[in-house]
Amino acid sequence: MHDLEYPYEVTSLIKKAVRWFSASPPRTLLLGFSFIIFLGALLLSLPISSVSGQTMSFIDALFTSTSATCVTGLVLFDTGAYFSTFGHWVILLLIQIGGIGFMTMATLFALILRRRISLKERLILQESLNQGSIEGLVRLVRKVIFYALALETVGAILYTIRFSIDMPLGRAMYHGVFHSISIFNNAGFDLSGDFTSFSKYSSDLYMNIVSMGLIILGGFGFIVLADLFDWKKKWKFSLHTKVVLSVSAALIVVGALIILIFEFTNSRSIGEEGFGQKVLMSFFQSVTTRSGGVTTVDITEFRQATQFFIIILMFIGASPGSTGGGIKTTTFAVLVGAVLAMIRGKEDVVLFRLRLAQERVYKAVTVTLFCIGIVLLGTLVLSTTEDAAFLKILFEATSAFGTVGLSMGLTGDLTLAGKLTIIFLMFIGRLGPLTLTYALGPKPGRVLYRHAEGKIIIG
């Protein structure tokens, strides 16, 4: 009797789980990313994925798969030396799916098969691309795919030209494709060997410009890219694009200037270089700290003030709808606008002569406080499980949450609890804290009444 009931109980639990995950777009995204990460971990744990033919432990494979899918770049093993060609292509596929979004990829296959995109799928796409409505989503998906593949192709060609000087053409093409996809998606994985990243090309203007261009374009977000490519049709930018472009430019310039000032006389980093080289290296570090993950200078040799400033840049991150993480440039802009409005005694937050709704300001504050709480919680846990300096732990936690991929050397020494914590931070950072909250939280009901207004002293 019990044997007959058991399969039905299992089937019932599976049906309930499916209904729960499919009840809302955030839950579907949560399930989709989790499935891709676990599938990637299974593939990376196979003997064929490593050069030695040995099986990687599942927790290490899960860490690597999460880092690739969440386009972070924190690694336990040297990607170029440890993984085989099969392993490289698994990582590359995870980066592509994670960067563009698994729902975008699924929609692409549906369009290829000429299948109709349902309303439910459009709602999931809306959540995935962080859009305000479902209007024009399928057109946006086509643009996302086209722009991503076009820019990655151009990047691969430019990288291949440079790599062909140092290696045979076939290998140069292989490295060109891998690095173009990885860097455009702000993943930070590289095949340089010995954890040296792009330090070999620190003085190479060509490599620096190509890499910075891919990181910046990937960090703008596909909505901004679509606006940029359609500019000649409309001859104007949306408020979102104006904010992203202006804040990104300001952060890059200010970040490069501060890094240059702090490290100008540091002989262990850029102090021994010429002035032009110092400027180039400072700009590259300013760009990559926002979510790139590759570096031309050893971060561990920076002064503590520079390392702490990099933590701030990593926390701000890239822009909405992009391959990067962090609280996002638009959130940062709204917070600054709210502070300036309060200082000036104004009620409205105004950006580019346009007033923002109070709901946007509340959301920016909520996202920021939520993200601060998650980073602090991760730092607290890592401070308990890891034997390392506090700044190194805070750097690692922020890098994981911001899906940046920079490290001060802690990643390879993580304990099991530390690896699980970093996995959790990378996952939340890519999925988004509010998306995770909406997915796991109860469905909000209709508000039937409002409380009486009260007063409280602030400041």
Got the DSSP string for 240-303?
HHHHHHHHHHHHHHHHHHHHHHHHTT-TTTTTTS-HHHHHHHHHHHHHHTTTT---SS-GGGS-
Higher pLDDT, 100 or 75: 75
pLDDT digits (tens, 9 = 90+) for 430-455: 877 666 555 555 555 666 677 777 77
Amino acid at 349: V
pLDDT exceeds cutoff 70 at 22: no
At residue 429, the pLDDT reads 87
Q: What six digits make up the tokens of 238?
A: 């949306």
Within 10 angstroms of residue 93's Cβ, the number of other Cβ atoms is: 17
At residue 159, the pLDDT reads 95
Q: Does residue 117 sit in helix, strand or coil?
A: coil
Residues 6 or more apart whose CB falls under 8 angstroms from that of 248 comprise 216, 219, 220, 290, 319, 329
Higher pLDDT, 357 or 135: 357
At residue 401, the pLDDT reads 93
Within 10 angstroms of residue 141's Cβ, the number of other Cβ atoms is: 26
Q: What is the mean pLDDT of the chain?
A: 84
At residue 265, the pLDDT reads 92
pLDDT digits (tens, 9 = 90+) for 218-235: 888 878 888 888 777 777
pLDDT digits (tens, 9 = 90+) for 137-194: 667 777 778 888 899 999 999 999 999 998 999 999 999 999 999 999 888 898 887 7
Q: What is the pTM of this model?
A: 0.87
